[in-house]
């Protein structure tokens, strides 16, 4: 029997009997398997484990997906959303480019490499995917304000999605974020609150606010709506498989902040196999962290199952989560698939951003520099198969983290507007 929502789990007394969640049937605990009704809850009352969406999928055909819109709603039959979601006012994210990265592959010594470039989303990061799913849950539960704790990209995605849907928004960020991300989060007209602390402290504050009357009828996309929000990352797995011709890559490198994206891409791959949409085959998943915030990488290298929290100190602020909620599950997946979790330092991050830009014309933010940097490190150390089909994720636009590469991106020369001046400057 499924449990019902309790006051400890939800900020609102909300009934979901009259709303539609597509194929979703309930919430299940990842640790003990306890079942719950669909609701704005995120933790198991039996063991305090995290909850995730459970489904009863019907028959799903490739041709039905292919005939859908060129955004994540082509996969609506695999998501906890109503059938008519595509017609609602939302940002319609997804179906971003899978770039065949032959020049980067040649530089790294790989036979086949693709970059899944999610900087093409409406607010230029993959966060538009997860927010779109959380927005539908917020509508279903009758919330009037969309909120989040954020390292930057999520704040902008929440602000934009709320504005498009006609909801209020109030987002919380660490006070030391990159200026471009602060501007993007603020421009959509919602409230932006900067907190003097790191992301983990911001997130703890949001958890407290959920239980207060100030947060009543607020949907915190990555807290009380987290089970729904996290499902948006599955669409990356679906798109990669479909864009590869309905097959799974041999190996994939994914950035790790909270770890949710990596775990849901694995979930997406497994769903595609179970539904017969792709052929079952082994695949390896690699997690990528910045050295200055690498608790999961450290645990993996030490052979540990417990992820010890750290205090972040890295230019890759979008990955700067020192106490990643899904860290232990990332370890499980990396080990189960024969992958690994690795990290690179800030200098290597910058080098990787420039390498990707120079070879493929893709300008990644620092998180993309982390994944490409880890990819390069894994190849050099012989831990990643150079002959296997490989995908690496770029989750955001480099225009958001300009400071990281500013000293390397200056004019080659400043000259007078004449041919003689040009010849003199570049004669050698």
Q: Is 195 exposed, middle or buried (0-12, 13-18, 19+ CB in 10 A)?
A: middle
Q: Is 361 exposed, middle or buried (0-12, 13-18, 19+ CB in 10 A)?
A: exposed
CA 343 to each of CA 123, 291, 372, 378: distance values in angstroms, whole numbers, following the listed order: 27, 5, 11, 10
pLDDT for position 4: 53
Q: 314-353, pLDDT tens digit by residue?
A: 999 999 999 999 999 999 999 999 999 999 999 999 999 9
Q: In degrees to the nearest 10, what's the CA dihedral of 16, 18, 19, 21?
A: 80
Least confident of 107-121, 164-178, 317-331, 399-413: 399-413
Query: Which is nearest to 373 in space by CA: 398, 394, 389?
Result: 394
Name the strand (E) or helix (H) holding 200: helix 199-210
Q: 173-189, pLDDT tens digit by residue?
A: 999 988 999 999 999 99
Across the range 380-392, mean pLDDT stands at: 97
Across the range 374-381, mean pLDDT stands at: 98
Distance between CA 261 and CA 252 in Å, rounded? 12
What region, left, alpha or beta, does residue 170 occupy, with left being phi > 0 and alpha being psi -120 to 50 degrees?
beta
Distance between CA 325 and CA 258 in Å, rounded? 5
Query: Which is nearest to 297 in space by CA: 267, 334, 325, 264?
Result: 334
Distance between CA 321 and CA 263 in Å, rounded? 16
> Is there a contact between 367 and 319 (Cβ–Cβ < 8 Å)?
yes
């Amino acid at each position: 029997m499924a449990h019902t929502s309790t006051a400890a789990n939800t900020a609102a007394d909300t009934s979901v009997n009259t709303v539609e969640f597509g194929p979703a049937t309930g919430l299940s605990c990842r640790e003990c398997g306890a079942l719950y009704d669909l609701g704005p809850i995120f933790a198991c009352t039996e063991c305090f484990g995290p909850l995730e969406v459970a489904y009863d999928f019907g028959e799903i055909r490739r041709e039905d997906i292919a005939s859908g819109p060129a955004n994540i709603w082509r996969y609506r039959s695999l998501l906890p959303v109503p059938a008519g979601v595509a017609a609602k006012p939302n940002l319609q994210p997804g179906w971003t480019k899978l770039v065949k990265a032959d020049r980067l592959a040649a530089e790294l010594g790989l036979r086949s490499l693709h970059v899944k470039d999610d900087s093409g989303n409406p607010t230029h990061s993959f966060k538009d995917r997860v927010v779109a799913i959380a927005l539908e849950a917020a509508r279903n539960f009758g919330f009037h304000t969309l909120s989040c704790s954020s390292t930057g990209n999520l704040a902008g995605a929440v602000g934009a999605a709320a504005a498009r849907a006609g909801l209020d928004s109030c987002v919380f960020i660490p006070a030391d974020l990159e200026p471009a991300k602060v501007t993007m989060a603020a421009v959509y007209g919602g409230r932006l609150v900067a907190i003097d602390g790191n992301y983990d402290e911001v997130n703890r504050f949001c958890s407290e606010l959920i239980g207060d009357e100030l947060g009543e009828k607020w949907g915190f996309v990555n807290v009380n709506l987290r089970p729904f929000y996290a499902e948006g990352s599955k669409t990356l797995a679906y798109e990669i498989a479909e864009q590869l011709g309905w097959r799974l890559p041999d190996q994939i490198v994914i950035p790790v902040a909270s770890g949710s994206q990596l775990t849901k891409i694995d979930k997406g791959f497994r769903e595609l196999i179970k539904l017969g949409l792709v052929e079952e085959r082994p695949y390896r998943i690699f997690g990528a962290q910045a050295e200055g915030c690498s608790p999961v990488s450290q645990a993996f290298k030490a052979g540990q199952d417990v992820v010890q929290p750290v205090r972040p100190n890295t230019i890759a602020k979008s990955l700067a989560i020192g106490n990643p909620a899904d860290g232990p599950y990332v370890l499980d997946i990396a080990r189960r698939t024969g992958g690994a979790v690795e990290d690179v330092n800030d200098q290597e991050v910058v080098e990787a951003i420039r390498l990707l830009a120079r070879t493929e014309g893709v300008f990644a933010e620092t998180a993309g520099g982390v994944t490409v940097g880890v990819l390069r490190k894994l190849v050099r150390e012989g831990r990643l198969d150079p002959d296997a089909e490989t995908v690496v994720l770029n989750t955001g636009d480099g225009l958001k983290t300009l400071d990281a590469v500013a000293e390397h991106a200056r004019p080659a020369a400043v000259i007078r507007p004449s041919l003689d001046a040009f010849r003199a400057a570049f004669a050698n």
